[in-house]
Structure 1
Amino acid sequence: MDHPEYFKDLEAVKDSFKKFLIQAKQTVVANLSDPVVNQILSIHPKDVNTIIDYSKHLIDFTLQIPGEFNIMNASAAFQVGLILGIDPQATRQSLERFTGASRRFEYIGEYQGAKVYSDFGHHPTEIAKTMEAVREKFPKERILLIYQPHMFSRTKTLFNDFVKVFQKVPADKTYIIDIYPSREVDTELVSSHQLVKAIQKEIEPKFRNSEKVVPAIVYIGSKNQTLNKLKPEIRKGDIVFFMSAGDTDELAKELVRS
């Protein structure tokens, strides 16, 4: 789940989608491989006579944007195009030409031979899927992830999920910035420093007797300190990936300008 400032739990999220679904007419395009989606669709709106499971109709696209989740999204869009009577070839060509939305795996430029990207990801699932796509696109490059948690309530509610994700994130080094408050006030509910400590506590025992390199997770402090600490770490050929729904996009652009 997400947006804990609005939804107290997953059931509240499901209820919201059910209210939306009741308004549907004729056709619903959904991913029935997801058990939660299946539960939501169990209400089966009376005006809906067709449910299309796009997870069973994945299209063999050659997309400009990486990630299995983008194949899923494109397949859903393709099914909607068929429903609307759009020429399938035109839909395919449009999807295959699409280079991505702003702040979604967005290429910003270069800094001393390193490629710099910005992404809006801020939920544990988003982080995991996006970073899998980054590693898929750059299998041999060194990846530096700079992550800024977004909102204290989200970080607190999903704290354990963040810890699990960052234990496995396929980055060579991860830097975590102080939480971006957005519309919230810092009441010392949770901090990025606490998050990094929790991640490190889980990682260290697992690698104690292993020959593998322990994943590097670093607390970097405030946004204003980030670039000064980051620049000496960057090497030619690196992938520098800024991720947050906060203001790390500004950092990515400032890095490229410098």
Structure 2
Amino acid sequence: MSTSLLESQFNCRPLRGHCVYFIGIGGIGMSAVARILINEGCIVSGSDLRISPLTSSLEGLGAKINTKQDGSFMSSETDMVVVSASITEDNPDLKTARKLGIKVVKYSQILGSLMKEKRGVAISGTHGKTTTSAMISTILKTSGLDPTFVIGGEVPDIGGNAHLGKGNLFVAEACEYDRSFLNLTPQVGVITNIEEDHLDYYENIEKIIHAFGDFASSISEDGLLVVNDHDNNTVVAARRANCKVETFSLDNASDWCGEVLSGSSGLKRFRVFYRDAFFHEFSLQIPGSHNVLNALAATAVCTFIGVDKDSIKTALASFRGANRRFQIVGVKNGITVIDDYAHHPTEIRVTLRAARELYPEKRIWCVFQPHQFSRTRHLLKEFARSFQNANRVILADIYATRDNDYEKTAMNATKLYEETRNSGIDIQYIPQLSDIVNVLYSSVSPGDIVMTMGAGDVWKVAYDLVSRF
């Protein structure tokens, strides 16, 4: 990778040997970029309040990480500080960096600079970004194109959440929060869907659609934008594109159309048609019609890049998904434990629907940990209606991140519990994760399905429960 752009933008000396400090290094995107910079020869350090497998992995690569985040770990020799979108100006590490006069950049800025050195592929949308990014990266890697990629989830089959490839392609998950994706310069873009989310930043759906329209207009004129045209908000945003636009859906009116053939035993078989002509028949190991849509988007992107249809078919057939996306953590004593990142009502609904299709006669337990007080408040009624395919629901306390004092006083988990119970759902409110494990251990029976859901640390329940069994 050429370093000239980074040198000019951040006034830094050549990348190798450069000291970069990440505030919030344990985040999925931050850890991915940190991994790439380590591979480029940077001296990487950072801080995060929580220890995780991601921070442990980075330490194994030589990164020095502390959990105090009090400013004491930052050296005056640090050349550049990278901050995640969740870091505020009152963070002691950031205040120390400002005091020392160290260059501070956002994660999305450095991601955009890295992308400019290659042919960028950016996957955006309220839902499905991680799986679609993982599919595209898997197809490109197994086809021998060796892309660089930064994905918002661990994908074990291709080496994790990041890889520094020798090819000229850079695949990145493009997050809309803080308009971060506008720092990217893709030749190829995807918009999977657009819904209300991150309302602590955007205020309303109109501003969200406008931001996605800005993203669409940022794609180079010789490139491609792939959009779900059964999402009206996405159609509106796509009108701002200056490049070729191709659509996908399960309707034959789209450029890329999927026809689901079967979904038994966890295998999804489907035919793909391109502009009304038969393209190929594919299969997926991961359940849910929403993943057929993700596969259609990935197929459109990789076909534009130049991957042949047989290579796409082979890669999709072997694709086992990203961690925390319908991930089977274990099957013990006839009880299947699954972990999923779903933290928006639509994601909960489609994931539970996929579980019901896969296990039509089984009792499904859903353990849900709300993510953010503000998201819970804005989408309260939608959350309450999203658990229809679960037999039993256990609600944990809200996982706080980026929430101010007003949000923490305006919303609590009890309100979500009452709203959900009033909608006819069998729900328990058990605030602490450790207590949830105890209740599950004494209550579940052979044949039951236990699904943990949320963007916080609810995954611990899944692993602790399997360990107890």
Quick check: TM above 0.5?
yes
Alpha-carbon distance, 1:20 to partner: 1.2
Name the residue aligned to 1:13.
Answer: 208
Greater CA radius of gyration, 1 or 2? 2
Per-residue CA shift, 1:61-82, capped at 9, x if unaligned? 3210000010000011111111
How many pairs are equivalent?
Answer: 242
More helix by share: 1
Alpha-carbon distance, 1:42 to partner: 2.2
1:232 aligns with 2:442: yes
Partner of residue 235 from structure 2, selected from 38, 63, 66: 38
SS in 2 for 1:247: coil
Alpha-carbon distance, 1:251 to partner: 1.4
Q: Is the CA contact 2:214–2:240 (under 8 Å) kept in the aligned structure 1?
A: no
Alpha-carbon distance, 1:84 to partner: 0.6
1:151 aligns with 2:385: no
Name the residue aligned to 1:116.
Answer: 337
Tell me, in whole angstroms, the C-alpha distance in 2 between the residues paired with 1:61 and 1:233.
Answer: 40
Name the residue aligned to 1:192.
Answer: 413
Partner of residue 241 from structure 1, selected from 446, 451, 457: 451
> CA 1:111–1:188 in structure 2 vs 1: closer, same or farther (change >3 Å)?
farther
Partner of residue 324 from structure 2, selected from 76, 98, 103: 103
The 5 A counterparts of 1:201-212 are: 201-203=422-424
Q: TM-score, normalising length from structure 2?
A: 0.50
Name the residue aligned to 1:220.
Answer: 430
SS in 2 for 1:43: coil
Q: Is the CA contact 2:366–2:451 (under 8 Å) kept in the aligned structure 1?
A: yes
Name the residue aligned to 2:54.
Answer: none
Worse overlay, 57-66 or 135-144: 57-66
> CA 1:67–1:9 in structure 2 vs 1: closer, same or farther (change >3 Å)?
same
Per-residue CA shift, 1:104-128, capped at 9, x if unaligned? 0001113432111100000000000
Partner of residue 69 from structure 1, selected from 266, 283, 290: 290
Name the residue aligned to 2:397.
Answer: 178
Q: Is the CA contact 1:111–1:255 (under 8 Å) kept in the aligned structure 2?
A: no
Name the residue aligned to 2:266.
Answer: none
Amino acid at match of 1:170: N
SS in 2 for 1:221: coil
Tell me, in whole angstroms, the C-alpha distance in 1 between the residues paired with 2:282 and 2:327.
Answer: 20
Tell me, in whole angstroms, the C-alpha distance in 1 between the residues paired with 2:247 and 2:331.
Answer: 41
Name the residue aligned to 1:208.
Answer: none
Q: Is the CA contact 1:61–1:71 (under 8 Å) kept in the aligned structure 2?
A: no
Name the residue aligned to 1:127.
Answer: 348
Amino acid at match of 2:214: K
Alpha-carbon distance, 1:219 to partner: 1.3
Alpha-carbon distance, 1:199 to partner: 1.8
Per-residue CA shift, 1:194-235, capped at 9, x if unaligned? 1111122232xxxxxxxxxxx412212222321112211110
Amino acid at match of 2:235: N
Tell me, in whole angstroms, the C-alpha distance in 1 between the residues paired with 2:409 and 2:332.
Answer: 35
* Residue segments in structure 2 that go unaligned for 5+ positions in a row: 1-195, 259-271, 273-280
Q: Is the CA contact 1:17–1:40 (under 8 Å) kept in the aligned structure 2?
A: yes
Alpha-carbon distance, 1:185 to partner: 5.4
Name the residue aligned to 2:248.
Answer: 54
Name the residue aligned to 1:82.
Answer: 303
Tell me, in whole angstroms, the C-alpha distance in 1 between the residues paired with 2:444 and 2:231.
Answer: 39
* Residue segments in structure 1 that go unaligned for 5+ positions in a row: 204-214
SS in 2 for 1:188: helix
SS in 2 for 1:62: strand
Alpha-carbon distance, 1:4 to partner: 1.9
Tell me, in whole angstroms, the C-alpha distance in 2 between the residues paired with 1:92 and 1:110.
Answer: 29
SS in 2 for 1:196: helix
Q: Percent identity?
A: 33
Tell me, in whole angstroms, the C-alpha distance in 1 between the residues paired with 2:217 and 2:420.
Answer: 41
Q: Is the CA contact 1:112–1:236 (under 8 Å) kept in the aligned structure 2?
A: yes
